[in-house]
A and B are shown apart, each in its own frame.
Chain A
């Protein structure tokens, strides 16, 4: 009645799974229906599934179904389904506050740095002037004590000041 090859053994676990999914061969399906052991094995899966489905359907059918207006009111009240623009509004506000705070500080720091740079340049220029004056002297520094002994007039002559 069943087929020789099929009846030589029961369906494997994978064959049983294929029977459940209606993807088994016709011979396997036939065996699954008519072999008491394989049929019981299939029922061990199908019966709880059917019970589970019935339980879930009964439960969901008993639940209250809101009207669309209630759903829209619920979602518009919360933040979940709102306009994405409004969802990003707090972030935009925070960014704006950070920008408004940071820009004046940055400008102030920039001005301070500029002033300090100008002051340093001015000091450098003064220092360079002093150095230039020192280097442009005709009399070397070691000779200055001796020259102090020479009268001013002779000094002036030597310097070529008085002709």
Chain B
């Protein structure tokens, strides 16, 4: 795990460790190279799980950081840097989805992720082949379940359960009200559980 910028790592109930809020995000953004180094993996995995295409995810991540760099002076620190970057990433996903709908005749997902290979993303740990098979099965079940969600449901689901963001943070990043986030999240969980009930 990388060291956070100007902050420290705190354990959370669900995901082990996350970076704490920095005291002054406006100061943090000055060293933009370090911002890229620290937040790149988070934005990349969110975009990867959202667009489900490795090349597109990498390109959108680059776009995201480039847009953030260009508008860094407009960042006033009202929200955390992570939330701000995530909002830019969500807008990239929306724009991509809109373009994909307009360009439906094109084969967009040229480098779409093979669901069977997702479990291989886990590093080699000393686990038995049976345990690895179970891990693969679980990861693939979530991957398949999120595919059936609407764009908005998938976004709030990933931010909550993959990025471990709070409801207010998700509302801030997605531009939705907290009530709307709760509604989308509830529907997403119900849909994912229903899908997993069939697959597992």
Question: Which residues of A does B touch, CB under 8 Å?
Answer: 13-14, 16-18, 20-21, 23, 44-45, 47-63, 65-68, 71-72, 74-75, 80-81
Contact = CB atoms under 8 A, between A and B. Distances in A.
A44 B185 CA distance: 18
The 8 closest A-B pairs by CB, nearest first: A48-B138, A60-B41, A60-B45, A59-B121, A52-B142, A65-B40, A51-B138, A56-B45
A58 B190 CA distance: 27
Contact of A65 (B41, B59, B67, B186): B41
Given A52-B142, A59-B121, A17 B190 contact: yes
B189 A21 contact: yes
Contacts, number: 112
Interface of B: 1-2, 14-15, 32-33, 36-37, 40-42, 44-45, 48-49, 59, 62-63, 65-67, 69, 118-119, 121-123, 135, 138-139, 141-143, 161-162, 164, 182, 185-186, 189-190, 192-193, 196, 200
Which residue of A14, A55, A80, A81 has the most chain B CB atoms within 10 A of its CB atom? A55
A80 B59 contact: yes
A70 to B, nearest CB: 9
Given A21-B186, A47-B138, A58 B193 contact: no
A48 B192 CA distance: 11
Given A48-B138, A48-B200, A66-B40, 18 more contacts: A13-B193, A20-B189, A51-B139, A52-B143, A53-B15, A55-B139, A56-B49, A57-B41, A60-B41, A60-B42, A60-B44, A61-B1, A62-B123, A65-B40, A65-B41, A67-B33, A71-B36, A72-B69
